[in-house]
Every structure is written in C-alpha cells, then in structure tokens.
Amino acid sequence: MKKMFYFQFLAVIAMLFAANFALAQDEAEPSKLTFSGSADAYFRTNLTAKNGEGAQAPVTSFANLPGFSLGMFNLIGSYEGEKVGFVGDLVFGPRGQDAVFASFPSNNIVNQLYMYWNVNEKVTLTMGNFNTFLGYEVISPTSNFNYSTSYMFSYGPFSHSGLKADFSLSDDATLMLGVFNPTDLTEFNPLGTYTLGAQLGYKGVYLNFLYGDQDGRLDKDEVYEDETSSSGALFQVDLTAGFDVTEELYVGANATYNSVAPGELAKGNTISKIDGDAAGFYGVAAYLQYKTSDAFALGFRGESFGEVKGGYGIIGAYDTGGAANIIGLTLSGNVSIGELKLIPELRVDMASQEIFVNASSKATKSLASFLLAAVYSF
C-alpha cells in the first residue's frame, strides 16, 4: 500500500512540475499542454433517519457518506495539437475511487487516458479510456448542477476503454460509433467479449446505444464442478437533451432503458439456456435551472426510476413480479464565489416499498436528507 501511495504521489508531483514548467515558457508562444481540475468536499446529514455509523443514504453514487466527507481531487493534463492530442485525467479520494471501481488497486487513480487524431474536419478517432457518453450527468462535480447524482447515472456505465469514431454530419448533427471492452473494464479485457456503442446527436438532443456481453461466455469445452451462470447481452438506449429557454432558464431531460437478457447455466460439461425475460431498469428525469444572478442559481431534479424482473437489486425490495420503483426529488442551489461553488441541497427519496428506516428505527418508504458541498475549479 505504501508503494502504491508513493507512485501516486510522484505522479502528482511530476504533473505539477510539468505544469509549472509549461507556465514558465515564453508567453508569446503559449504551450498547448494545459492543466485543469477540481477539488470538492461535503457535509451530509439525514433529516428523517439516524446519522453516524451505518447511517442510510440514497443508493446512488458519490454523495452518500455521513458527516463531513471528502469528494475527490481531480487533475487533468491535456495536449491539443492541430491533428493529434491526448488527455490524462487523475482522481484521488472517495469519489474518484468510486468512479474507477473496476480498476486494479495499483491503477485506481486513472479516470481517463486517451489519445485522439483529427483525421479531417469531419472525422476524429479516439483510443483509450474515456468517460461514458450515456446519461445526462457526469463524474466531475464541476459539470453537474446537483451535487448528489441520479439513479440512472449511478447504475449506467461510468467509463469505456476502446476505439471510437466521431463524425460531424452537418452543423447540427453528429454521429459516434465505437467498440469497447465490457463496461468499466478500463485497463484491459479479461473476458474476451466486446461492447458496441453509438450516439446520434442533433441540436442538443442525443440518442445513445450500448450493446454487448458484459461478463464473458461459458466455455463449452470446460467441465464446471460448481454450478456457474453467465448473463446474456446488455442493451441500453438512452436519451439526453438540454436547452436554454431564456438567458436565465435552462431545461434538461434524461430517459433510459437498460436490460440484460437471460444467459446460460453450466454444470459439469452441460450448458443450458436460462429461461425467462430480460431483467433491467428504466428511468426518466427532468432538470430545471434558473439563474437569478452571476452569483446564484437554483435547480431542481425530479427522477422516476424502476426495476423489472428483479432488476439488479438496486432498490432492494420488489413487488409481485420482481418490480420496484423510486422517486427522487432534489433541490439545489449554486452559490458562486470566484472559482469556488457552494451547493446546498435538499433531497427526498420515496420508494414503492419500505426500504428505509426512520429515526425511530421503523421501516418507511421515504428518506429526506440535506448536504452542503464545496467545489473548487482551476
């Protein structure tokens, strides 16, 4: 563990030294090597449930630790050439570790690492590890209005490793096609299966697709001593949109459907198909943001999220037929003080069954919480 920390520390020092060297160059010839990033921390407390050790939180990503908690330190180095370039994105802290959860401990600071080639004005090829193109929200808290995240974002993909081609079809239309490792397997591919991705964009509306086997296939030539199962292919279709209605009012939307087909079951040298319907989740969310001044804006996220056929066990309780749903309502403020953004946030989650526990230790269907986040961008 000490060696891993030393390597991480040296990586940060090296990047900061390079940044300082780049800034010291002749201003008449500015370097194309640039550095940016962020730092964030937050305070979170339950309003209708107990706090402290073992305290409940919405089962979404990143903003779910009790009391005063750390987010992450994010350092991004990029080089933008006329034809080629690269991006290296390092993350440190709980939020960063959650974002790269499928990485090995020796490499769990790399959020993105990719190279690109602008083939011409219409085509760009990118290879490496990059954050997902699905969903409305992103990993970095600097690019989200709400500090806590939605269910759809939390259980959709975070990152892909592979090769993608971006096409500019017109001034208003874009197309992306890609082939990737299974979702979030960012360092290499131990499974031997691949996932296809596509995105079609038009005037701020993006339709996204993901399809492929995520856990490998059973080997018909192997003898399985224990009963072993493999899921079928994952399919996800996702729609995002965002518009400035006025200079003050912004409206965004996200809708998604994710399913995994029944797979196979192996015992001994026999492999059989698993009967049944696809399990998965679906959701829809609306985002409203109103800017009252350069220093303050108010935003609301309303999300409806559900699972079918038992889903992935996200919500944790199911009606007859293996279905469950939850509604999340989040009201956030954005207070800007130079490069520092303060985000006070009130959130209420309401489930179809009693999956939460209130302050009296009784089962309940809802949980209300408050957090205050501080996000600094540089």
pLDDT profile of the chain (378 residues), mean per 10: 46 48 47 92 97 89 95 97 95 94 79 97 97 97 98 96 98 98 92 96 97 88 82 95 97 97 84 84 98 97 93 79 91 98 98 92 95 98
Domain assignment present for 162: yes
**Is residue 22 included in any domain, yes or no?**
no
Beta carbons within 10 angstroms of residue 90's beta carbon? 22
Is 240 within the bounds of a domain?
A: yes
Range of the domain at 347: 40-73+115-377
Q: What is the pTM of this model?
A: 0.89
Q: How far apart are CA 36 and CA 140, in angstroms?
A: 12
What tokens appear for 104 in the block?
């090995």
Q: How many other β-carbons are positioned within 10 Å of the β-carbon of residue 253?
A: 15
Residue 93: inside a domain: no
The pLDDT value given to residue 31: 61
Task: Classify residue 56: in a domain, yes or no.
Answer: yes
Residue 8: count of CB within 10 angstroms of its CB: 16
Cβ–Cβ under 8 Å, residues 315 and 59: yes
- The DSSP secondary-structure symbol of 105 reads G
Give the pLDDT confidence score for residue 254 in this predicted structure.
Answer: 98
Q: How many CB atoms lie within 10 A of CB 95?
A: 24
Within a domain: 302: yes
Task: Count CB neighbours of 277 within 10 A.
Answer: 11
Give residue 106's pLDDT: 61
Considering its fold, how many domains does the chain have in total?
Answer: 1
Output the pLDDT for position 28: 45
Residue 144, domain CATH: 2.40.160.10
Q: Please give the structure tokens belonging to residue 376.
A: 């600094």
The secondary element (H helix, E strand) that includes residue 308 is strand 296-308
- Report pLDDT for 49: 95
Residue 2 is assigned to a structural domain of this protein: no
Q: Is the dihedral of CA 313, 319, 321, 325 positive or negative?
A: negative
The answer to whether residue 371 sits within a structural domain is: yes
